[in-house]
Amino acid sequence: MRETLTISHIGGQGDGVARTERGPVFAPLTLPGEVIRAEVRDGRAEAVEIVTPSPDRIAPVSPQYGDCGGCSLQHWASTPYLDWKREQVRAALAREGIETEVEATVATPPGSRRRLALHARRGPDGRAILGFKARKSWRLVQVNACPVADPRIVAAIPALARVAEAFLEHPKSAPTLHVTWTLDGLDVDVTGVERRSGGLSADARMRAITAAAQADLARLSQAGETLVMARRPRVAFGPAIVPLPAGGFLQAVPQAETAMVERAVEAVRGAGKIADLFCGAGTFTFPLATAAPVLAADASAEGIAALKAGIGAARGLKPITAQARDLFRRPLSPYDLKGCDAVVFDPPRAGAAEQTAQIAQTKAQVVVGVSCNPTTFARDARILIDAGFRLERATPVDQFLWSAHVELVGVFRR
C-alpha cells in the first residue's frame, strides 16, 4: 500500500525524513517540504513518487543519478545544500554543548575530485566494467562519466577497465581501483584481490603491467606493493614536491585542501614551534613550515619517508622533524610536545580522543583540528574546551560534493 508523506528535513546520511506516528521514514533523493507517495518498508520509503516538488529542487547533472550511490544530494540547489552542511556542524557541536561561530561552508567545484575508488566487476560480455556501488546495494553501477571527478580520470576509465581485467583472475576477487591524479599522471592502487589462492598469477601480473603501460599509468600497485612504476607519482604540498606513497592518503580535492591549509596556517601564525599530528606525507607540514619549525608525526612509516624526501627538495622552510609513531597507541605526551605553542591535528574519522587529551595538558596556546567527521570532532573539542580552550570558529568544507560528508576546520585558543 502506498502512503502520502511530507518530508520535514534531511537526515545525517542525506535522505529526506518524514515524521509519522510509527516513527521516522527515510526517503532517498527527496527534499524538505516535498510531498511524496511511496511504499514504506521498515522505515524506508521505496518507489518514491514526488507529488509536490520543492522549489529548491534542481535538475541533476549525472547520467547515473538516482542509481549510483555516490551523490545523494545532487538534486538540491547550492545555497540550501551548503547551508545544510553548515547546520550539520552546528548540530554536532550543540550535542556536546558547544556554541561557536560556524562559518559559511566552503564550496568546491564539479570536476575537481583527484581521487576516486572505482569498483571492478565482469560485465555481461565478460569484460571488466568500472563503477560505483548502487544506493544501499552491492550492485555495481557502470560509470563512463562523472561530474564530480577530474575529467582526466574520467577520460582514462576505458584504459583503467583494461587494467582491471587482470585483477579479476579469481572468481572471489572484488577489485577496487584507488585512482589518484598526480603531477606525474595517474597513480593506481588495487585492493580486494583474492589472496588465499596465492594472489595474482605471474601471467595476470604481466597482463596488469602491460595494461598499465598502455594506459600510461605513472604507477600501478596492489595493496601498497608496487607492481610497475614508469614515473614516481608526486604531489605539491606548499613549496614542497613530495613523492606519494603507494596507497597513501591524500586529500580528495585540491581546492578543499587549500581552504583547510590556509585556515590552519593563518591560525598558528606567530607560533614559535608547531606540532603537526596525523601528518601523512605532509599536507599541512610544509605550508606550516613556512611560518615556524614543525614537529610532524604519523603512524605511516611510508608517509613519513615521503615527507622526509620532500624536505630535501624544498627551499625556504623552517626545520622539520618527522617521526613515525602510532598516535592512537602511543600519543605524544606534553613532554614530547614541549616547546610547541601551536598544534595542528588531522585524525581519521574515528577522531583522536587519546591524543587530544594529551594536547589539552600542554602549554600550547592555539590548536587547529581538521576532521572529516563532525561528531568525533565535537567529542574531541569538548576535551579541549574542558581543559580551558575556546573554540573560536569552525569552518565546514564541502570536499565531497553532493554527498552527506562534511569536512571541517576548527580553531581553538586558550
- Catalytic residue numbers read 372
DSSP result, 30-93: --TT-EEEEEEETTEEEEEEEEE--TTB-----TTTTTBSS-SSTTB-HHHHHHHHHHHHHHHH
Place of cell 580520470: 153
123: number of CA atoms within 13 Å, CB side? 13
Q: Residue 138 CB: number of other CB atoms within 10 A? A: 9
Q: Residue 318 CB: number of other CB atoms within 10 A? A: 13
Return the bridge partners of 18, or none: 7, 25
Report d(CA 93, CA 89) in Å as an integer.
6
Beta strand 274-277 with 294-298: parallel, antiparallel or unpaired?
Answer: parallel
Q: How far is CA 17 from CA 7, 11, 82, 303, 339, in A?
A: 5, 6, 18, 41, 49
Residues with Cβ within 8 Å of 75's Cβ and at least 6 positions away in sequence, in order, are: 29, 31, 57, 58, 59, 60, 65
